[in-house]
Amino acid sequence: MDQAVGKQAMVQSASPVSESEKNAIIGGVLLSMLLAALDQTIVAPAMPTIARALGHAEYLPWIVTGYLLTATAVAPLYGKISDVLGRRPTIYAAILIFLAGSLVSALAPNMLVLVVGRAIQGAGGGGLFALAQIVIGDLVPPRERAKYAAWISGTWAVASVAGPLLGGTFAEHLHWSLIFWINLPLGFLAMAIINNPLKKLPIVAKHHRIDGLGAVLLIVATALLLLALNWGGSTYAWISPEILGLVACSAIFWAAFALRLMRAAEPLVSLEVLGNRIVLTGTLSMFLLQAASVGLSVYLPVYLQSIIGLSVSESGTAMLGLLLGTVAGATFSGQAIPRFVHYKRIALIGVGFSILCVGLLSMIAGHATLLQVEILTTLIGLGMGTTFPVSTIAVQNAVDQTHLGVATGVLTFLRSLGSALGVAMLGAVALGYGMPLAAEGGVGHIEVSSALPFVMIFIAAGITLILSLAMLSLMPEKPLRGRQEHAAPVLGD
C-alpha cells in the first residue's frame, strides 16, 4: 500500500461509544454471524427432503459448495471495503445480500435457483464472518479483546448444535423452505439493534480506493481452487484432466493476483500487511489448524458409526465433546491472554496437547471404547480452541487501525480455505485406504470394515496440527495494545 496514503489515513469518529452501545453493537454483529454460521449447518439434515421436493438430487452437493465458494472468496474483499467505506454500510450490505439469497432460496422452484440463492447467501455470509471480528476489533483494544473470543466460539457452538436440529425439524414436520425464511426476521432484528450505535464507529482509510481487478482475480482464483478441492477424489479422480485443469487455471489466476498486488497503486491486500511476520505466520497457523479441525469433524461421525457402532443421530450427539471442548478452550484462552505477557504460550501448549491426544486416538482407533473417544475428542477440542483467540488477537494487534479490516479479512479467508483443504486432504487419505468420501453436509451412511483408514486420517490430522504448531512457534510476540494505544493507532511491524 502507498505509504503516503497510509500515513494520511485518519480515524474519524462522531462521538464516543458508550458501554451499552458497545454491547448492543457486539450483540448485533454476533447475531448476524450466527445467521451465516447457521446456514452452514442447517441445510444438511434437510437435503433428502429438498431432493424429493425439487428433484435433481445429483446437484445436492452444490447447495453446500455454492455457499462455500462465494463465502470464502469474498472475505478479504469485505475487509478492504469496510476499511474504505466504513463498517456500518459494509455490514448492512452483507446482511442485505445474505437476506436476498435467503429469499431466493426459500422461493426456489427448482434446484438450479436454490443453488443460485445459496451462492448469493454465501456472498453475504462470507462478509458477516469477517465483519463481526472487525467491528469487535474497532470497539475493544487487543488486551481486552480476547475475552470476546468466547462469545464468537459460543456463536459457532450454538450454530453447530441448533442448525442440524432446526433443519431436521423444519424439513420433517413443517417445510424445508423455513430454514431460509427464518433468516429474514433475525436479519432485520440484527440491523435494528446495530443501526444507531454503528453510526459512531470510526471510518478509517477514507481516502483509499478498492482494486476491482485484484478483487476479480482473487475471487476467480479461489473459486477454481475450491472447485478442485470439492470435486477431487469424488466427482473426478485427483489426476483427471478436469481436476488438473482447475488447479492449473487457479494457479494462473493466483499468479496474476500476486502480480497485481505488486503493481497496483493500492492493492486489494496491502503488501505491508502481507509482509508482517505476525500476520503471515498467524494466518498460516490458523489455516492449518482449521484444516485439521474441520477435517476431523467431518470424519469423526463416520468413525463413530462404522467402528464404534453408533447411529447417525447418536454420532451427532457424540460430536458435542469436540465442539464443547473447542468452546471451553477458546473461553479459557480468551480469559487468560490479558494475564500473560507471553500469551502465545497458551496456544503453543494447547496445540501440543491436541497433537498428543490425536496421536493417542490413532493408536487405539481399532479397539477404543466410546468413553475413550469422547474423552480424547473433548481434549483435542480443548487444545485447539486455545489457538483461535491467540491467532486472531495477535494478527489484529500486529497492524494499525487502518489495516484492521484487511488483516482480519485475510485471516477469515485462510480459515475458510483451510476448512475446504482439510476435508479434501483427509478425503484423499480416506480414498487411498479404500474408504468412500464423507462430504461435508452429505447424506447417506458409509460402510467401513477396517479401522486402518481412520488411523491414517487421525495421523494426517496430527501432522497438520504439528505444522500449525510450527507456524505458531515462528510467530513473533508483540505486546498487546491497551485502551490508550488503541485510541491512537500505531503503525504495525
> Do residue 205 and residue 216 come from a single domain?
no
174 and 54, same domain (yes or no):
yes
pLDDT-derived band at 360, boundaries 50, 70, 90: very high
pLDDT above 90 coverage of the chain, percent = 9
pLDDT at 65 over 90: no
Q: Are 9 and 80 members of one domain?
A: yes
229 and 332 part of one domain: no
Neighbours of 69 (CB within 10 A): 25
Same domain, 34 and 156: yes
Do residues 151 and 238 share a domain? Answer: no
Confidence of residue 298 (pLDDT cuts 50, 70, 90): confident
Residue 58's pLDDT band (cuts 50, 70, 90): low
List, for residues 136-186, the tens digit of each pLDDT value: 777 777 766 766 766 777 777 677 667 767 776 777 677 878 888 888 888
C-alpha cell at 411: 485471516
421 plus 480 within the same structural domain: yes
Tell me which of 165, 183, 210 is where a domain ends.
Answer: 210
Residue 56 has pLDDT above 50, yes or no: yes
Least confident of 122-131, 198-207, 242-251, 434-443: 434-443
Grid cell at residue 21: 452501545
Domain boundary residue among 210, 233, 249? 210
Number of domains in the chain: 3
pLDDT digit string, tens, across residues 88-120? 788 888 889 999 998 998 888 888 888 888 889
Comparing 97-106, 118-127, 353-362, which segment has the lowest mean pLDDT?
118-127
Within this chain, do residues 12 and 52 fall inside the same structural domain, yes or no?
Answer: yes
Q: What is the arithmetic mean of pLDDT over 285-296?
A: 86
pLDDT value at position 486? Answer: 46
pLDDT of residue 348: 92
Read off the pLDDT of residues 243-273 as tens digits, 9 standing for 90 and up.
889 889 989 988 998 888 788 777 767 777 7
pTM of the predicted structure, to 2 decimals: 0.76
CATH number of 199's domain: 1.20.1250.20
Query: Is the pLDDT score of 16 beyond 80?
Result: no
Q: Say whether both 97 and 175 belong to one domain.
A: yes
Is a pLDDT exceeding 70 seen at residue 313? Answer: no
Give the chain's mean pLDDT: 77
Residues 227 and 313 in one domain: no
* Average pLDDT of the residues in 334-357: 86
Give the structural domain span for 254: 212-263
Q: How far apart are the C-alpha atoms of 134 and 29, rounded to whole Å?
A: 10
Whether residue 441 has pLDDT greater than 90: no
Give residue-wise pLDDT tens across range 220-238.
Answer: 888 888 788 777 766 777 7
- Selected residue with higher pLDDT from 465 and 477: 465
- 224 lies in the same domain as 170: no
How many CB atoms neighbour CB 50 within 10 A?
A: 21
The verdict on 90 and 17 lying in the same domain is yes
At which of 232, 263, 294 does a domain end?
Answer: 263
At 465, the pLDDT band (50, 70, 90 cuts) reads very high
